[in-house]
Amino acid sequence: MNTPSNALAESALDPRMISAPAMSGTRPMYWSVRRELWENRSLYIAPLAVGGVLLFGFLLSTIGLPHRRRAILLLNPMQQRAAIEKPYAMAAFMIMATMFIVGVFYCLDALHGERRDRSILFWKSLPVSDLTTVLSKALIPFAVLPLLAFAIIVATQVDMLLLSNAVLVTNGVPATTGLQLPMFPQSLMLLYGLATLALWHAPIYAWLLLVSAWARRATFLWAVLPFALISILERMALGTSYFGSMLKYRLTGSMETAYAFDATGHLHFLKQLTPERFLSTPGLWVGLLFAAAFLAGAVRLRRDRGPI
């Protein structure tokens, strides 16, 4: 006969009694996202490398900066602002472009890589659902990469500002002021732009994840070839390019709906942001519906597919 103390000790050592609290504390989604960052260092190394190259190039350009700044100060205030902002805008564009390229290749390998190296057998043995795994991978281009890009862009622009001010002050030229380059409003506009891009490109990333879960090899070819064939066939059969225009709209259409550019095609003020127009655009919600469908397909394929 077991005494109450023995029964209590056995129940305390029973794995079934302690598994539930332990599992609830592991936060599968959080650790799944951290796993992606651990395994894919290019997610942050590539934008950092681009930021470093941009800073080095900007450092070289400061050789003639005082002379150029004196010429800029002869322009009207709007032209001054546009000229001063140009290198900062270019740096932001280059890092954002890098973020998009990294996101594309990450998604193409996210589910295919674990099937190729057979690590999917290990990951499926863990108490993490296929839905959690796929969503954690989708969160990388949807949220993590935009936030990383925002931090790297702001840090790069601040370093550029400090470098330029040091060179200008040393040569007796007025430094860049907050009036000429308002960093806080620009940062808000940048964060807004990254968020709108992530939402607008969501079906692209979700499609790439679906292909990554399905294809046995040549994921990039399978991701691009169907759209290229449809565009070519439409052009040959009908002489039109509606499908190609739709693809272009999906890549760049967020800019014309999320912003109200001035006559010169520049953005200077927070009032030029148009979130109400962006959120009321049918293309956004149609794209998000396709993204949800593609992610559901990726979850189903991961559940059914094994190693390659």
> Average pLDDT, stretch 285-294?
96
Determine whether 152 is exposed, middle or buried from the number of CB atoms within 10 Å of its CB (0-12, 13-18, 19+): buried
Quick check: pTM over 0.75?
Answer: yes
In 3D, which of 167, 163, 144 has the Cα closest to residue 155? 163
Question: In this predicted model, which residue has the larger pLDDT, 168 or 98?
Answer: 98
DSSP 140: I
Which structure tokens are listed for 14? 């029973």
User: Is 13 a residue whose pLDDT tops 80?
Assistant: no
User: Is 22 a residue whose pLDDT tops 80?
Assistant: no
| 44-93 pLDDT tens trace | 999 999 999 999 999 998 888 888 888 887 888 778 777 888 888 899 99
Q: Angle between the 130-139 and 28-39 helix axes, to the nearest 10 degrees?
A: 50
| 231-289 pLDDT tens trace | 999 999 888 889 989 999 999 888 888 887 766 666 666 777 888 999 999 999 999 99
Q: How far is CA 269 from CA 78, 150, 190, in A?
A: 12, 18, 12
Which structure tokens are listed for 245? 């225009």
Q: What is the pLDDT of residue 25?
A: 43
Q: How far is CA 91 from the centre of its chain?
A: 16
Q: What is the pLDDT of residue 156?
A: 94
